[in-house]
Amino acid sequence: MSTARRMRALVDRWAVPAFTALVIGYLLLPVAIMIAFSFNDPPGRFNFVWGEFSLAAWGNPLGRPRLDDAITTSLGVAVVSTVAATSLGTLIALALSRYQFRGQGATNLFIFVPMATPEIVLGASLLTLFVATAQEPLRTLTGGALFPLGFQTILVAHIMFNISYVVVTVRARLQGFDRRLEEAAMDLGANEWSTFWRVTFPLIFPGIMAAALLAFSLSIDDFIITTFTAGTSNTFPIWVWASIRNNLPPQIHVIGTIIFVVAVGLVVISTIVGNRNNRAAAAVLAPR
């Protein structure tokens, strides 16, 4: 009996943590494989089977035709769409959480719907719109800017799908916001404008940064929507997709690894900065 009970206690204590560790390992396994296979010299054209250790791809990470163009496009789209979507989305989040107005519930729902729409539908519907702008009357209206497809149509799509994610992220930050800090600033004689820039903005800045990071990573990684809106231009994922029919060079894994390391680094930095700001706010409120 006592062995059975001890067994049970052991299971109770370790089953959940062991499972947690196992699943985390499972989640990270493909990332580990990616990093490992960036050092591979594959025996064929496809980097699916381990050949031997090699630094060749790391020495020449862009050494594939049109890969550098694809990465430039990816970065350009990601930077511009992040800035645009973060600005537009933060304004919506501010309006939704600072004001009470008619139509608020409907707006919340409207913001949510694009996130609940499958990417393939978002991409396909944008493609039909862009194709329709090749015909009148939309052609004159858009000045032909949206057809033929290219950098600008990828950008339009990425701003669109990023806005909702920014709104949700920034709004979550604003909901934990302590209005007493603003009241304190107003009591001390600051007007609305300087209260916003010197109190509100610094406090929600980590939320905006988190939203921007999310937008950037969604944009640089997006494949499904981009495949409908890219036309003949390449982003990095589109390049990988096109490449995979003929070959799979280890350069893909090298660039994937670089993106991973940079993204993780940025998140770590922004978390540290965010924690510091939180502590500063806590210090202001502490001696109540």
Cα gap 225→127, rounded to integer Å: 9
Q: How many CA atoms lie within 13 A of 15 on its CB side?
A: 6
CB of 169 to another protein, least distance (A): 11
State which residue, 101 or 287, has the beta carbon closest to another protein.
101
Q: One-letter amino acid identity for 184?
A: A
Kindly tell me which of 164 and 200 has the beta carbon lying closer to another protein: 164
State which residue, 60 or 110, has the beta carbon closest to another protein.
Answer: 110
Least separation, in Å, of the C-beta of 178 and another protein? 19
The least distance separating another protein from the CB of residue 167, rounded to whole angstroms, comes to 8
Q: Let me know: does 234 contact 70? Beta carbons within 8 Å.
A: yes
- In the complex with another protein, the residue whose CB is nearer, 221 or 284, is 221
| Residue 287 CB, nearest approach to another protein (Å) | 27
User: Helix, strand, or coil here: 117?
Assistant: coil
Residue 109 or residue 285: which is nearer to another protein going by CB? Answer: 109
Question: In angstroms, what is the minimal distance from the CB of 184 to another protein?
Answer: 22
- Please, what's the b/e burial string for 223-256 (b: 16 or more CB within 10 A of its CB; e: otherwise)? eebbbbbbeebbbbbbbbeebeeeebbbbbbbbb
Contact 225, 233 (CB under 8 A): no
